[in-house]
Structures are given as C-alpha cells and as structure tokens.
A and B are shown apart, each in its own frame.
Chain A
C-alpha cells in the first residue's frame, strides 16, 4: 500500500479543539476501492474545513463532487482513507458524539412499516429518552412538521414531501446541537421548501449549528452563512456567502427618487472619470452564476481514475 493513502496514526486521546469549532476536518480524504483493494475513485481529496458554532454551513457541489462522502465521513458511516474528522472534538467514529447530532439523510431512510408516532418513539428510544419525554417531543414535532393528520398512517403511504417532514422530525427528536441536512428541500413543494428554510434559520437563531449539503443553489444562497464549494472531490471555494457573491469590479449605488436627468448626469460623470456604465439597474449575480463559473471547466464523468 502506498504511503500517500495510509492515514496518519491516530492518537486515542481527544485532540485540542477550539470549543467554538463544531466540525473539523483535517486533510480528510476518501478513496473508494473495489473488493481487491484496487483504487477505483478518489471521492474526496484532502479536505480541510471548520464549521463554527451557530452558523449555517453549506456544502455545495454538483453530483459526485464528494458532498455526501464528506457528510458520511463526518458521521463515521465511512472510514477515511486519509486524515481525520472531528465532531464536538470527538473522533468521527465515536458513537457518543451522535447524542448531540440530528441527521436528515438524502432520502429519508426510515422503516416504512412504522407510522409517524412509532417512528419518533423508536428513534427517541435510541437516545435512551424516558417515555414521557419521548411522547411529549414526538407530539410537538409531529405538529411542527404538519403531520398531525397523518400521525397514525404507515410511512409507506406517505408522499415524498411527507416523508421529508417525518425525516426532519426524526432528526430533531434529541434536540440536537448540530443538525446535518442532506438535500433538505428535495421533494418539497415551494411552500414546504420555504418552511424548511425558515425553520433552518430559526434553529440557527436558537444557537444550533447546521451543516447542509445541497445542489439547490437558491436554498444555499437563501440560508447559508458560509459555503464550501466542492468539485471532483476538491475544495474550490470557501467563504461567507455575501463575500463570495460580491461582484468586486462592479459598484452598486442604491439611491431613491432619482430623475432620469440626474441618472444621465451620473452616467456622464462616470464616463468622464474613465469608468464604464454597465447598467444603471441593480446588479444581481446569483449563486447559480458563481457555481457555474466554478464547475464549467469539467463535468462529472471526466473524474480522474487511477486504474
């Protein structure tokens, strides 16, 4: 085995981590291998990110960019080929960290033969919660996600949007400090999507940390404080959303009640000073443009493979 893929020897003691940092990855990498140990795909290369307490952090990237791999590595569902990941200062493979995490998977992987109440009761039990707390919280959550009328129906009868809602309720059953959301708005109608985003922001305001991964650019733009943009397993951009979206060579002037005459004068002034008037309207760049700009060079499928 080559030295580059072997992880560094892990020390059993918990590392020194800033208490403000909720998630930390150090040089985190994952190579998928086939049965014989041959390298198939390098899904994630040397990722270093820090998610701080109380922020909404977005992982953004096209299909196959390593978003889900990152989330699974952080939760210990996959084992890293190199580097390490820490959550609340604990190793990703330490299950006790899960006490404080709520996870909404990409598609709500729930037991279809249970109904909403049984589902929440079951997941509540997994947190060793006493019976009254389970009952009280599942009742509250079922109302919150708007499934009060369907609480005794088996999940197999649920629509996709309803499944997302019960999935969200399941992720909140332990009142987590960290919420990991994989594509939270897929399958939701515009109203549901709006509600989800409002909820995410509300939870942030309550002091919770949220890691969400999405390719719904509008969602990310709407709710995230900071984003990391992944492409082909590499980190391409990392920063505050407002910073990233700032079009640095365009100046935006907001003014009210300008007459057309005054607008003409301003335009003339700019020209006289050597500037160029692009438009007098408000400029908007969007997440979408930024995103396409980053990923346009190559599309998935051209991913390098080491066979």
Chain B
C-alpha cells in the first residue's frame, strides 16, 4: 500500500490551495457549455435555429424557475419509498444471503496461516461488500426507470403534479437507502467476522527455571516466545512476546498463594488504525544542496527516489505541529518508516543496508546524535526515540529534549535520514516516514472504509439513473459500466489527454505510427505550419478530453479499503473531500438527468 501525496492534504488545503474547488467549477462550466452547444445543435436540427435556441433556454428556465422551486420533499419521499419498496420486493435481500454464505465458507479460500491474517480478512470482506453493492447499485439504477417507461406506470406518475427533478431524486435516494441498509448490515457482519477471526488467546507452554524466558502454546497456527523484564524489586512482573504475524502479546505474572501464573494478554498491533503525522520531504543531492528528486535507480515511474550511501545525500522530513499532547504525553517520539534498499554490491548480506537517523531543530543549531538503523524492507520499522537523548548544540555535546530543544517555537521538527553504506542506496517517498500519533479506533476506521464503498455506490446509482433517463436498461448498464471502467482505469486516458504521456495528442500520435518515429523525438513533418496546425488541433481535442475525463468520477480514489487493511487511519480530510466530490457528482448527474427526462416524451412507444 502506498499513500499518495494528495491523500495527505487537509480538506481546505485541497479545496482552496490545491484548486479542488476551482477545478470543480471549471469542469462544471465546461460541461455546461458543451452541454448547451450539444442541446442547441439537436434542437436546431429539429426546430430551426431561432426556435431551437428558444426551446433550450426554456428548459433551463423551467428548471430554475419552476421545477426546482416546485420540488416537494413529500413527493421525493413518496417516490424514494416506492423505489425502496420496489427493490425490496424484487428480493434484493438475496444479496445479503450471498454475502453471509460467502462469510461462512470464507475459511475454504482464506489462508488462516497467512502472515497477516487481519489484512487478508479485511481485504476479503471489503472487496466482497464492494463487488456485491456496486453490482446491486448498477442493476437497480439502470433498469428501474426504463422498466417503468415500458410498463407505462410512469404515465400514472407524470400525470400527477410530479416534477422530473422529483422522479430523479426519488430514484437516487430510494436506491441509496436500499444500498445503505445493506452496507450497514454487511459492515457490522464484516466487523464481527474480522474481529472474531483475528483475536486469539495463548496459554503458557513452558517457562525457564529463572522465570525470564518462556514460550506460548500454539494457537491460531503460531506460537510466540517471550521474555520477562525485571521490575524495580528485581522480580519478573511483566514482559512481551516476540512479534509473530504482525502482533505481540503482553505477558504478566501474578502470584497467587506463592504460585506464579503467567497470563498472556490479547494480541496487540493486529487491528490498528495508526494515525500518521506526515511531513514534507526535501532531498539533498551529492553536493548537499536541496533538489527536487533524488536519484532514479532505473525504474521508469518510480514512486520512491533514492539517496546514495556515504555521501552528502540526505532525506529531510519537516513535520509541523509536533507537541507532546499528540504523542500520548511525549515520553517517547514514535517514528515509523518503510524505506527501500537498492544494492549495487552484495555487501554484508546478513545485516542489510544501514542508515542513520537524526532529529534536528529547523534552525540547524541543535540536533540529536546519529541513531543507526538497518533497513527493514517490506515491513514497517517502528522506532521509539526517548524524549531525552544525547545530542549537540552548535557542535557542543549536551543532552537534548525532543520537545523542548529539537522542536522549534512554531512546532516544527526535522528528521534527517542518511544511508551509511557506501555504494548502496536508500529509497523513500514522502509517506515512507512519519511520526506516529497514536491509534484511532479500528471500528471507526472500518466504518470510514465502508463509507468509501457507500460513496462509490452512490456514484454508480447516480450514473445509472442518469443514463436510464434516455437509454434502455441494458444499454444504460453498459454505459454505466463503461464510465466505471474509465473511472477505474482512466489514468492512462487522462495521461494521454493531458499530454503527460509522451508522443503528443491523438492526431500527432496517429501520424507517428506510420512514420515510425519514437515518442521522445519532436514531430518532424518538414513543414512547421503543418506541425503547428496538428499541435493546435490536438490541444483543442486534448482540452475537451481532459474536461470529459475529469467529469467521470475516478472510482479508484474512493476506495480506502487499503487504509483499513494496512492499519492506517483514514484521514478526516480525505473523507470530507470524497464526500464533497460525491455530492458534486450527485448534483451534476441529477441536472443532466433532468434535461433528458424533461425533453423526453414519456408516452412515446
């Protein structure tokens, strides 16, 4: 799992500083313009130029002046309730049964001896729920309105004072209610399934004679060894087990009637929702100067960038708002990192690639001592740095306090990572090192993950209802599925459209194919005017395409199941942003659906 930089943005940061709002407004404006032109062309073909214009503007006028103000909650409720009843009486609850059967037989295809059972179980339930719910949303929304038009029941509705807005809103809300109900039940069942599948107990198998070391019984297909730590009185009172399958247990000793009993607590670290505090990453090049990216070790679209060992290269994260209260009192500062290692020589293969970590005050005068570490690849390395540690001020050694000395007045702290193995490289992205500000509630995090599925469902229902206002059921379904796939896999399309992919726009690319020119060389047709014309047309096409593609919701980004599965708290800002986007798409599709429904002869065969 990797957390993209844009997922770390706060809500208002996205809305204003990252131009989320501006982008939305532009998309709406462009779509409105394109829509108006398209509608006008159709109306012009049918009624002639001046009257076509009149027809188009009249529909817009009626939406704003009559149908929107005339929309009544009571009617929307009635139509929504009808859609709900229709879905229930079409036996959608069978979906529930399918899900429960899936859970019952999950043991047949989920490996309980997997390295990370929690991740496996969470991925399974969330994927299962989203497939079932998205399919359900697709079928419900695409077939309902066409079926009503075909069976002519819609004629009994539209001869009542029902606005097209109400038909659309009622449908969307009714189906959303059905889906919400199902997601809620599935979510609760999923939570129970995951918790019961993951939580386990161990007993004590044997303890060494001095009572310091021991091992547990085999439960849930694994066993731990444990080590007790002597207390102040010299007796062994508490200890922890080793880490197996991503978790540990706390071991406590109780003395009852002179006999020692060891108790092993519940697993820790399995169902987590870590709250990371991300910083900003600056890379320093071989000369020690800040640079945009580190070295590229050869992968084309590498997420990480690399720093070279034993050089001046370094990665520096700057964190904001570092206060003791955020780190449960601040006795220690927990840092978690998952760096990558790239080896150019075999080196010491047993120890692995080594690096060092330094905490530094942004003023550059106070810093901690260098803390060596060995890169743990493919897993999260958890380091607890004690509050008081050796360091230096202006080069003079002294003991430093993280929060008093290293954190600046405005709450900033810098963490510097270097690679100490000459000839080896460390790879990192901004999300690969973070301060760990405790845990959020796992259940709440799972709820937010299911909210992501819910938002995808709402999007599908909106799209399905929109397409079903002018297409027949099966065609509407194909159209919705197409947008779904474009949304999921639209990255490439967007890259081509936005010009990020090399080789130019569609026409230029088309010319390049027969000419067999590489995508990286400039287009050479031997005629600058022709070249510029091609590029200008391409720019126009690409601009239109970008607008269209941005109007299609990228479903992938609403999927936050990985956060839950990999134990990251889903940021509130991200949820709020997704909710905003869902609402925006809801409004957009409703308006488009309105225009189609309003201009359609519902009684035409």
Binding site for B on A (CB under 8 A): 1, 6-7, 9, 12, 32, 37, 72, 75-79, 94-96, 98-99, 101, 103, 105, 107-111, 113-114, 118, 122-123, 125-128, 170, 174
Q: Whole-angstrom distance between the alpha carbons of A107 and B45 in the complex?
A: 36
**Residues of chain B contacted by A110 (CB below 8 angstroms):** 153, 156
Task: For A68, give the chain B residue with the smallest CB separation.
Answer: B603
A127 and B46: CB pair below 8 A? no
A9 touches B51 (CB 8 A): yes
Whether, in the assembled complex, B47 has its beta carbon less than 8 Å from a beta carbon of chain A, the answer is yes
Task: Give the Cβ gap from A39 to chain B, nearest Cβ, in Å.
Answer: 13
Q: A1-B47, A1-B48 given as contacts; is B152 within 8 A of A105 (CB)?
A: yes
Chain B residue nearest to A156 (CB atoms) is B89
B82 touches A122 (CB 8 A): yes
Spell out B's residues near A (CB within 8 Å): 45-48, 51, 54, 58, 66-67, 70, 72, 74-75, 77-79, 81-82, 85-86, 89, 151-163, 601-604
Distance of B83 from chain A, by nearest CB (Å): 11
B601 pairs with A95, CB closer than 8 A: no
Measured between beta carbons, the chain B residues less than 8 angstroms from A107 are 152
Nearest 4 Cβ contacts at the A-B interface: A125-B78, A77-B603, A126-B160, A113-B89
- Given A12-B58, A77-B158, the answer on whether A109 and B89 have CB atoms closer than 8 Å is no
Contact call A75/B159, Cβ cutoff below 8 A: yes
Q: How far is the CA of A6 from the CA of B46 in the complex (A)?
A: 9
The answer to whether B159 and A101 touch across the interface, beta carbons within 8 angstroms, is yes
B155: chain A residues at CB < 8 Å are: 72, 77, 105, 109
Contact across chains for A99 and B161 when beta carbons are under 8 A apart: yes
**Do the beta carbons of A128 and B152 come within 8 Å of each other?**
no
Smallest CB separation, B194 vs chain A (Å) = 36
Q: Which B residue sits closest to A182, measured CB to CB?
A: B155
Q: Which residues of A contact B66 (CB under 8 A)?
A: 94, 96
Cross-chain contact B156 with A105 (CB below 8 angstroms): yes
**What's the least CB distance linking B167 to chain A, in Å?**
10
A123 lies within 8 A of B160 (CB): yes
CA distance A114 to B82 in the complex (A): 9
Q: A98-B161, A126-B160 are in contact. Are A109 and B75 (CB under 8 A)?
A: no
Q: By the criterion CB–CB under 8 Å, are A170 and B161 in contact? A: no
A126 adjacent to B47 (CB under 8 Å): no
Given contacts A113-B85, A125-B74, A128-B75, contact A6 B51 (CB under 8 A): yes
Q: For A127, give its contact among B81, B152, B153, B161 (CB under 8 Å).
A: B161
Query: Chain A contacts of B79 at CB under 8 A?
Result: 126
Q: Kindly report which residue of chain B lies nearest to residue A129, judged by CB atoms.
A: B74
A174 to B161 alpha-carbon distance, docked (Å): 11
Q: Which residues of A contact B89 (CB under 8 A)?
A: 113
Additional 13 contacts, C-beta under 8 A, given A77-B159, A95-B67, A128-B75: A1-B45, A1-B47, A6-B47, A6-B48, A37-B45, A95-B163, A98-B160, A99-B161, A105-B152, A109-B151, A109-B154, A126-B160, A127-B160
**Residue in B72, B151, B155 with the greatest tally of chain A CB atoms within 10 Å:** B155
Given A77-B602, A128-B74: A109 and B47 interface contact (C-beta under 8 Å): no
Taking CB atoms, residues of chain A closer than 8 Å to B46 are 1, 37
Contact assessment for A128 and B85 in the assembled complex, using a CB-CB cutoff below 8 Å: no
- Contact across chains for A126 and B75 when beta carbons are under 8 A apart: yes
| In-complex Cβ contact of A103 among B45, B72, B82, B156 (8 A) | B156
Given the complex, which residues of A lie within 8 Å of B58, measured CB to CB? 12
Q: List, sorted by A's number, 21 A–B pairs whose CB atoms are closer than 8 Å.
A: A9-B54, A37-B46, A77-B601, A78-B604, A95-B161, A95-B162, A96-B70, A96-B161, A98-B161, A105-B152, A109-B151, A109-B153, A109-B154, A114-B85, A122-B78, A122-B82, A125-B78, A126-B75, A126-B157, A126-B162, A128-B74
